[in-house]
Amino acid sequence: MNNNTDYNYEINPQAIEKESFRQIRQLTKLDHLSLEQQQVVMRIVHSVGMPDVSEKVRFSAQACQRGLQAIAEQGTILCDVEMVKQGITKRMNQQKTLCLLNDPRVAPLAKELGETRTMAALQFWQSDLTNSIVLIGNAPTALFRLLEMIKQGAGKPALIIGMPVGFVGAAESKQALWDCHEQLGIECITLLGNQGGSAVTSASLNALLRCANGEIY
């Protein structure tokens, strides 16, 4: 604890994190989840400070297992926006990690097609999709486009973490992912409703990276 100022507060990072997750365990219902699923849910709750968000998290049957396998096999990580990419814990991430939103080919293609840049960027994911981990935390249009691409025969990621945020298409894109994942043969983690964003998306992957490194709360 810090007693050298007018405020009394914890300054030890390990103590802060340990206490945070102790409180999260008290405030959320986790007993029905696997160990890895619990870690993901707690990281999501930690990133937004809202325990009730845990009730909206959904896992496909083999989501965590396939994610951990992809991590072990050094699968590529594909991100829809730079904020998601930057949120991944650097000391644990040994994967090839790409965000092509600012690739010089993307803006002209988006203008030509009359669509969002996040949609157009997916055109350049094709060679890296198979057995990748896809993180979509900002753009519902990117998640819709990804599902369209997979339906049309594109390579299947090992895991899709789809948690775009917002009021136009966000809830619908995540519901579409959840509704069709079994039919398409893909594994996913999603957060239903309007909530989501870059922080919860990268936090979900960070939880799996920590599991792979034996950091369990």
Tens of pLDDT, residue by residue over 80-112, are: 999 999 999 999 898 899 999 999 999 999 999
pLDDT of residue 201: 98
**How confident is the model over 176-205, as pLDDT tens digits?**
999 999 999 999 999 999 999 999 999 999
The catalytic residues are: 46
43 assigned to some structural domain: no
Cα gap 163→132, rounded to integer Å: 17
- CATH number (domain holding residue 115): 3.40.50.10230
**How confident is the model over 116-175, as pLDDT tens digits?**
999 999 999 999 999 999 999 999 999 999 999 999 999 999 999 999 999 999 999 999
pLDDT of residue 68: 98
Structural domain of 89? 53-212
93 assigned to some structural domain: yes
The answer, as to whether pTM is greater than 0.75, is yes
36 assigned to some structural domain: no
Q: Mean pLDDT, the chain, as a whole number?
A: 95
Cα gap 164→198, rounded to integer Å: 8
pLDDT of residue 4: 65
24 assigned to some structural domain: no
Number of independent structural domains in the chain:
1
**How confident is the model over 205-216, as pLDDT tens digits?**
999 999 999 999
pLDDT of residue 41: 98
Cα gap 132→155, rounded to integer Å: 9
Task: Count other Cβ atoms within 10 Å, centred on residue 168.
Answer: 10
pLDDT of residue 94: 87
Cα gap 33→25, rounded to integer Å: 12
